[in-house]
Amino acid sequence: MQHVRCLLVGLGNIGRRLCEVLSSKASHLDSRFGLRLRLVGAADSRGAAYDPLAGLHPQHVADLKSAGGSIADYPGAGRSGWRAEDLVAIADADVLLEALPVNYDLGAEPGLTCTRTALRRRIHVVTANKGPIVLAYRELDVLARASDVALKFDATVAGGLPALPIGQRDLRACVVERVEAVPNLVTGFVLDLLADGIGWEEALARARATGTLEGDGAWDLEGWDAAAKLVILTNAVLGHHCRIDDVSVTGITEIDRSALREARAAAACYRLIATAMRRPGGTYDLTVEPAQISPDHPLARLGPTGMGIVYHTDIYGTITALIDEPSPIPSAAAMLRDLLSIYCDVSR
Ligand SMILES: NC(=O)c1ccc[n+]([C@@H]2O[C@H](COP(=O)([O-])OP(=O)(O)OC[C@H]3O[C@@H](n4cnc5c(N)ncnc54)[C@H](OP(=O)(O)O)[C@@H]3O)[C@@H](O)[C@H]2O)c1
């Protein structure tokens, strides 16, 4: 029997869903793997709760957040104004689950500080937050190795699709000649509506109504979210050090609507494709741009809530993985996949 003490910072769409998954899967994890995950602390923007002895009940945390409350209100353990960074600095824990906002404009804070602090304290990190991985992957990877703990970030690329584990674990022996990915959900959703003849503003309104688009969506629609995911994949899977400035990015805001409708008439579709193309010296050309997907392409089956990846390799052939993700649950569950890979796989 393995008891694992978890801290969870960020209790929004992902953190709250992760609490639900931890609660619903507790007996399965126990009976199948002898793994008992105990939530000892959690934080949101208004405060934190910490109870190293009794722990926090994940379903109670999820219910509190679903009702619009703060973790600061958690009976007996909650404290208003207590920051996530402070909780991570003092709590006795084995793993940090990080689901804070990306916040590139704030230097990926407070996620970056939480991650750094945990790794320095020899606490494993599982994160859904692209910010720290895009801005500081190398530093964090070195820190994790020096502390002999894991840094896992499966949920940062294409939600619940195991795009990173396939690459990092299963393709280690090969050369990846090319990666083609549709790692961003909302752009595909909007492109399909535009292809149906729906206007731009109406398409955005529908994307917003279903929760796939947040805020003004500029980061997604201009292609930067896909570029960030391509950067993570290129650094972590392809072993090629790059930054977001290295990606040539064209979003979907200027897309030619007539081309979308013509593609639809020809049973094809458009998607925002992130591509890494290997050059002879072993470096990669990185692009994000909308492109037509012909009906015989491996990504052609993607629906409006689909994401996918194609790895073209030298010795494993061409490997395609697709996901239909109509809710954030698969993304939250990707964090559980990371937890299992830390605690149940023979080696990290
Ligand atoms: N949504 C998805 O489908 C998805 C998929 C994959 C990855 N991700 C990534 O996962 C992360 C979380 O996404 P989300 O959709 O769950 O975001 P979200 O709904 O906006 O939730 C963010 C959470 O972080 C908390 N928070 C904000 N600022 C904070 C601060 N300074 N200190 C402590 N807590 C703070 C918020 O507190 P309050 O509850 O008090 O507001 C909230 O609980 C993001 O990095 C996102 O890119 C999201």
Of 144, 41, 46, residue with least CA distance to 87: 41
Which residues lie below 8 Å from residue 343, measured CB to CB, with a gap of 6+?
2, 4, 33, 35
Q: Strand, helix or coil at 276? A: strand
Q: Which residues pair with 222 in a beta bridge?
A: none
Query: Average pLDDT, stretch 310-321?
Result: 98
Helix axes 26-33, 329-343, angle to 10 degrees: 30
Closest residue by Cα to atom 35, ligand 1, is 45
Residues with CB under 6 A from ligand 1: 9-15, 43-46, 70, 84, 99-102, 110, 128-130, 155, 159, 328, 331
What is the pLDDT at residue 34?
A: 96
Query: Average pLDDT, stretch 170-197?
Result: 96
User: What does DSSP say about strands 78-80 and 47-50: parallel, antiparallel, or unpaired?
Assistant: antiparallel
**C-alpha 99 to ligand 1 mean position (Å):** 5
Q: Are 117 and 85 in contact (CB under 8 A)?
A: yes
For residue 286, name the pLDDT band (cuts at 50, 70, 90). very high
Closest residue by Cα to atom 2, ligand 1, is 328
Of 185, 173, 178, residue with least CA distance to 212: 185
For residue 347, name the pLDDT band (cuts at 50, 70, 90). low
Q: 114-124: per-residue pLDDT in tens?
A: 999 999 999 99
Q: From CA 107, how far away is CA 87, in angstroms rounded?
A: 20
Average pLDDT, the chain: 96
Query: Average pLDDT, stretch 161-174?
Result: 97
Burial status of residue 93 (CB atoms within 10 A of its CB: 0-12, 13-18, 19 or more): buried
Query: Average pLDDT, stretch 25-54?
Result: 97
Of 100, 325, 336, best ligand 1 pocket probe by most atoms within 8 Å of the beta carbon: 100
Residue for token pair 């994949």? 233
Q: Strand, helix or coil at 200? A: helix
